[in-house]
Structure 1
Amino acid sequence: MPGMLIETYVYKILSAADHARAKELGHTDTDLDARDGYVHLSSRDQVAETLALHYGGEEGVHLYEYVLERFSGDVRWEESRGGELFPHLYGTLRLSAANRHWALETDSAGNPVLPGELR
């Protein structure tokens, strides 16, 4: 259909501590992002693996969904884990700009799980 807008969803995962800081500031500000100089994001296909690799055993993890086409900052798809291209935002990621937000539940092993609609 001509003129149809396609939306690309990207995700930001925040630990409990990073989420508390982001709520105070109104935007994300993680040590990893500050060190690397950009905001680490994941595509829908990448978010489950990112969650498992970096947030296993953590409680209080939050997940934010954003529409890539609505960002005002520069987003670059750059090589990361295993040569895969990940979205990196060179700018500020405001919590208020999120499309959706979840406080993630944990499974019986204490690992955060994606909400049903993203599995």
Structure 2
Amino acid sequence: MVNKRIYHICRIDEWAAAEAEGRYLGSSQDRADGFIHFSRAEQVEASAAKHRAGQDNLVLIAVDPARLGDALKWEPSRGGHLFPHLYGPLPLTAVIRTWPLHLDAEERHLFPEAY
């Protein structure tokens, strides 16, 4: 896979806990699945619409996949497309940037212009 940013979306409170602890263990769904779900830039908006529809007060997290080592696996998922899955905690040192992710009047997520 090309070494570009990957993205994860979680609740603001989950991210605040991760910042306090120094690592992110994933959402309850991630932990149930055994890995942290990520998306490429061209996948993240569809992922948000499918898995986080109507949810407000979220955080969009940009991560450098090169900082994740062998714990990051690219596996087929929705539509047979490859998605990045992290088998282990997300170290905060791999995080490039975060943005708040809120809803518009139609309850669609408002993504930053350039992410």
Scaled by the length of structure 2, what TM-score is found? Answer: 0.84
Q: Secondary structure at the match of 1:110?
A: coil
Q: 2:5 pairs with 6, 9, 12, which one?
A: 9
Question: Any runs of at least 4 consecutive aligned residues in structure 1 with deviations exceeding 3 A, and if so which?
Answer: none
Matched, 1:33 2:44: no
Match of 2:78 in 1: 81
| 8 A Cα contact 1:73 1:92, kept in partner | no
> Who is 1:91 aligned against?
88
Q: Secondary structure at the match of 1:63?
A: strand
Structure 2 gap segments, 5+ residues each? none
TM-score, normalized by length of structure 1? 0.82
Secondary structure in structure 2 of the residue aligned to 1:12: strand
Q: SS at 1:49's partner residue? A: helix
Deviates more, 1:105-114 or 1:84-93: 105-114
Q: Aligned with 1:64: secondary structure?
A: strand
Q: What is the number of equivalent residue pairs in this alignment?
A: 113
Question: Which residue of the partner structure matches residue 40 of structure 2?
Answer: 43
Structure 1 stretch displaced more, 78-87 or 14-23 = 14-23
Q: Deviations over 1:44-98 (max 9, x none)?
A: 1110100111112111110110111122342111111121110011121023431
Query: What percent of counterpart residues are identical?
Result: 34
Larger Rg: 1
